[in-house]
Amino acid sequence: MASRLAATLHQRLPILAGVCTASVAFTVDSVPRFSKSLKKLKGKRRVVPRRLLLGLGASFWAQFVSMSGSGGIGGKFLVASARQQGASSPVEQILKNVEWPEQFPFKEEDFQRFDETPDSIFYEGPRFVTHIDDQAIAALTKYYSKVFPPSNTAGVSILDMCSSWVSHFPAGYKQDRVVGLGMNEEELKRNPVLTEHVVQDLNVNPKLPFEDNSFDVITNVVSVDYLTKPIDVFKEMCRILKPGGLAIMSFSNRCFWTKAISIWTSTGDADHALIVGSYFHYAGGFEPPQAVDISPNPGRSDPMYIVYSRKLSTA
C-alpha cells in the first residue's frame, strides 16, 4: 500500500506544481501588485527552495496517508476538481474514519512560504477584487444561508477571519455583532456586513482579541492556507466560540501561492481538507471535523469546499 501511494504521489508532483503556478494569476488585480511587492522586497526575501519543500511534503504525505488509513481513496483526489457532476467527491470522503496519528504530523518547514517577508507588506494595498468566481461565491452564500443562525437573532455574534471587503454572507444578512479580522483596513472598512473590524497579522500574533465563549460562528473564506501557526489560531477559535459554536473554513483551488504554506502548495484539494481537518483535531475542543464539497459546476467553475466543526459543548 505504502509503495503504491508513494508512486501515486511521485506521479502527481509535476501536476500539482503546475496547478500552483497557474494559481498566481487568480485575480486580475493580484498580478501587478504581486510583482510590485516582490520588486520592492528584492534582496530582503528569504527564498525557500521549492523542490525541497515539495519533496518534504510528498514524503510526509505518503507516510501520513498510509498511517491514517485513508489510502483507500488512492489516486482519485488528483482529479477532484474535474470530477463529473454527481460522482462522489474525494473531498467529502477524506475526513471519514480518519485515524489521526498521536502527534501533530507536520513539521516547521511545512508552514514555510516562498515569500517569508511580513504579510503586512503583501497586504498593504487594498484589493477590491473577488478571489473565486461568481458561481463559487453563490454556492458559498447558499451554504451559509442553510447553516447560519437566522438574520437579526438577538445575541448572535459572528467573526469573519481573514476578512476583506466582502464576506459572501446572504443578501441583507444582519446580526448585532459581525466582526471582520484581516490585514487591510481599507478593505475591512468597506465591508457592508461588518459591525466592527480588527487589523491583525495572525502569523505574528495568533491570539484573537476577543473574550472566551463570545461567538456563535467563525468563518474563513479562501484564506486558511495562509496561516503559519494554525494550531495556535484554531485553539483561539475554540476559546472564543460559544459551546456548540460553528467554525466554517472554506477554500477553493486558488491561492496567492507565494504566501500559502508549503504543505498546501504541494498537495491537492482532498489533501487540503485533511490538512484543515487536522487543525481542528489537534487544536482540541472540537467535534470531529467534516468536509462538504459544494462545488457548483465541477470542472467548469471554481471548486468550493467546506471543512467545518463545532466546539464541543463540554470544552
Angle (deg, nearest 10), helices 50-68 and 2-22? 140
The residue within the footprint of ligand SAM, chosen from 60, 64, 77, 226 (CB under 6 A), is 226
The β-bridge relationship of strands 305-310 and 290-293 is: antiparallel
81, 223, 253, 267: residue in contact with ligand SAM (rule CB under 6 A): 223
Residue 48 beta carbon to ligand SAM: minimum distance, rounded to whole angstroms: 17
CB of residue 180 to ligand SAM, shortest distance in Å: 9
Closest by Cα among 169, 191, 170 to 181? 191
In the complex with ligand SAM, the residue whose CB is nearer, 70 or 163, is: 163
Q: Which residues pair with 310 in a beta bridge?
A: 246
Regarding 182 and contact with ligand SAM (CB under 6 A), the answer is yes
User: Which one, 184 or 295, has the nearer CB to ligand SAM?
Assistant: 184
269 contributes a contact to ligand SAM by CB under 6 A? no
Least distance from C-beta 211 to ligand SAM, angstroms?
Answer: 19
* Residue with Cβ nearer ligand SAM (85 or 120): 120
Taking CB under 6 A as the binding criterion, the range among 11-19, 77-85, 143-151, 177-185 that sits at the site for ligand SAM is: 177-185
Among 203, 267, 278, 309, which residue sits at the site for ligand SAM (rule: CB under 6 A)? Answer: 203
Query: Of 134, 176, 196, 201, which one interacts with ligand SAM (CB under 6 A)?
Result: 201
* Total number of residues that touch ligand SAM (CB under 6 A): 17
Q: Which is nearer to ligand SAM, 188 or 292 (CB)?
A: 188
* Chain positions contacting ligand SAM, by CB under 6 A: 119, 123, 131, 162-164, 166, 182-184, 201-203, 221-223, 226
